[in-house]
Each structure stands twice: as C-alpha cells, then as structure tokens.
Homo-oligomer: A and B are copies of this chain.
C-alpha cells in the first residue's frame, strides 16, 4: 500500500499524457492530518530543477528543520529543469492548482518532477491531470501513485515498515543518474506517527545518509532528487527520534536496494564494503571511488575478478584518507584475491556469474566501516543512455 499504508493518507496515479508512451505520469499524495509536519532532503547539484527550488523555499533557506505539507504532486515525463523563470512559474502554477482543488494554500504543496531536462512541461495536460488525480484520490491509491512516477524503471518501488504503534510507507522511482547527494530519484515517505518537523528532519537525514547517499549506480547526480517525509499523526502514537530513525532507515534502505536492483542496464548488484578505515567518511570515500571507476565497473560486467583495478581505484582518494597501499586486503565473493596489497588466493576461485557481487576492502587503518552500492557498466547501460532522448 506504499504511501497510503499509514493512516491519514490518500493517493492517486493517473495518465495526463505527458509521456509519449501513454503510461501513467501524474501522482498525488495527500496528507489528511490531523498533523502536517514534514521533512525533506534535496539534490546537492547546483543546477536545481524548478520543483526542487520550490520545495527548498517551502522548507526555508536552510532546507530545515521541517515544514507543514498537506500534499505532494509528482510528475514523470519531464524534469522541469533548466527551464528558466517560465519553468519556475509552471511549478508555482502546479502547486497553486493543487492548492485550489484541495482548498489549501500553495505553500502546503510540494512538487516533484522527473524526466528530460530542458523542456517545458505541457501545462494544460498537467493541470488537467491534477484535477483527475484529485478525483481519483483514495486510501488505497498508493500503488497507482508509485506507478505514475516511473520513468525508465521497470518495476514500481514501494515499502511498508511497521514501527512501535506507527507505520512508515513509501514509494521511490529512479533507474539512472543514481549517485550520491541523492540520485534521480523521487521518494515520498509517509508516516502516521506523531512527530514534529525537527524530529522528522533528524530521522530523515540520518536515514538518507546511510541509504540513498551510499547508492552510486553511475556517478551522475541529478538536478531533481527529492526525498520527502510526511507525518499525519493519525496513529496518535508519538515516535521518539530513535524509533522514527530506525523505521525510516529501514524504509530508505529497502527502497535503495530496489533502486539498485532496477538500475538501467545493470547485470550486477555490487556491494562494496570498506572495513578497517580510520573514519566512516574515509570508508565512504574509498567505496565511492571504487563504485565510480569505469574500469572496475566494466570488469564486473565481464565477470573478471580484476582486483588490480580495485586497488588502482582505491589509490585515487586523497591523502586525507588513511591507508598504506601495502596493507590492503581485497575479498571478492568470499575469496581473498588480494593480500597485503599483492596477489592473494587464486583468482580462478572467484565466481562472478551471479547477479550479486560482494567486495570487501580492508584498509587495516582503523575500525570504521561503510558499504556503498553500485552496478556494473554494461552494453545495455550504454545503449539505454545513448538513446534516451532521441
């Protein structure tokens, strides 16, 4: 039931005609309260789409620690990025229209868009779709909403996590441009817990830091990434920061794994676990450097246990990350193929034929650890991304 699993939410997904394919492209999620606390995190890309700028304004200049939101309107079929002042006006008009049909101020309406950059949205179609979505709103509408935000996704991504006396639900889209600082990725999380904006903000930032921020499918950060968490308070249960963080982290981690599994053209889901780091940030940096290395990614596609490329990628991180190249161990799917920076067990023992790959890089420089998720670089990735807009 995704976004509508927690009490107090209705949703809908409809076809407005924004996509040439004729598939659903407009989703509306409404919080019926009694509370309207919300938190959000957005792309760190400095080229921000109009809806991201709008949302950031709703959350104040510093994006936190919360806002009052009653609805989220989302569209696929167009990112409304790099569309100038007119594009921003389109976002404002969309929020105003949602506000008008729901009898709310536009400032209670978040907007999220995904699709091609650099093209105006067909506003007549979109606003008609908003009306239709409003009429279709239902407490069972979560699954339809999750379908309407898909772009190159092959399956909708949804999650429901039970907490102590409350529920967290959510939906996500994203299959390309998956990278840190969030990835073209729209995520709406809902909960019926009672929690103020500051609590929601803390829980959401803690959760995204160890889930979406550690997913780096193709190193390309989007202009539109948005993760929203809306709380209706309808369960009547007050959630502590810890309880909420735990449930939201589970939801985000689950959705991140779903994004990884559906990444464009990928044949491998690669879990890069960095151990023995002096700091957690250093562990993440090493993991991301390996995740982004095209020679590592193509080696995985070729099922080639090329640990030399992994070490070369580790070596590109700056001197602020502690390690001695001659101390590094690398284990690939259970086989320690690199020991103390040199050849370890027989590379022929490594089986890379399956879809799941697990790399453990032990820096032997401390006790911190982090895991970064990525995909291989395949012919299908090149095909899909060389043909996307044409």
A residues with a Cβ closer than 8 A to B are 45-48, 79, 81-84, 86-87, 116-120, 176-177, 181, 218-223, 292-295, 298-299, 301-304, 306-309, 311-317, 319, 323, 325-326, 338, 340-343, 377-379, 381-383, 385-390
The answer to whether A79 and B308 touch across the interface, beta carbons within 8 angstroms, is yes
The answer to whether A388 and B117 touch across the interface, beta carbons within 8 angstroms, is no
Copies of this chain in its oligomeric complex:
2
Question: A218 with B84: in contact, given A46-B317, A47-B314, A306-B389 (CB under 8 Å)?
Answer: no
Q: What is the CB-to-nearest-CB distance from A219 to chain B, in angstroms, rounded to a whole number?
A: 6
Query: What are the residues of chain B within 8 A of A81 when measuring CB–CB?
Result: 308, 311-312
Most buried by B among A298, A304, A377, A383: A298
Alpha-carbon separation in the docked complex, A46 to B229 (Å) = 41
Question: A343 with B386: in contact, given A47-B315, A294-B218, A311-B223 (CB under 8 Å)?
Answer: no
The answer to whether B295 and A176 touch across the interface, beta carbons within 8 angstroms, is yes
Measured CB to CB, the nearest residue on chain B to A118 is B308
Measured CB to CB, the nearest residue on chain B to A347 is B118
Q: What is the CB-to-nearest-CB distance from A222 to chain B, in angstroms, rounded to a whole number?
A: 7
- Cβ 8 A contact of A82, one of B311, B317, B382: B311
Alpha-carbon separation in the docked complex, A307 to B338 (Å) = 42
Query: What are the residues of chain B within 8 A of A341 when measuring CB–CB?
Result: 47, 82, 84
Which 4 A/B pairs are nearest by Cβ-Cβ distance?
A117-B308, A302-B386, A47-B315, A84-B342
Question: A382 with B379: in contact, given A311-B223, A313-B220, A325-B46 (CB under 8 Å)?
Answer: yes
The answer to whether A378 and B385 touch across the interface, beta carbons within 8 angstroms, is no
Alpha-carbon separation in the docked complex, A342 to B326 (Å) = 49
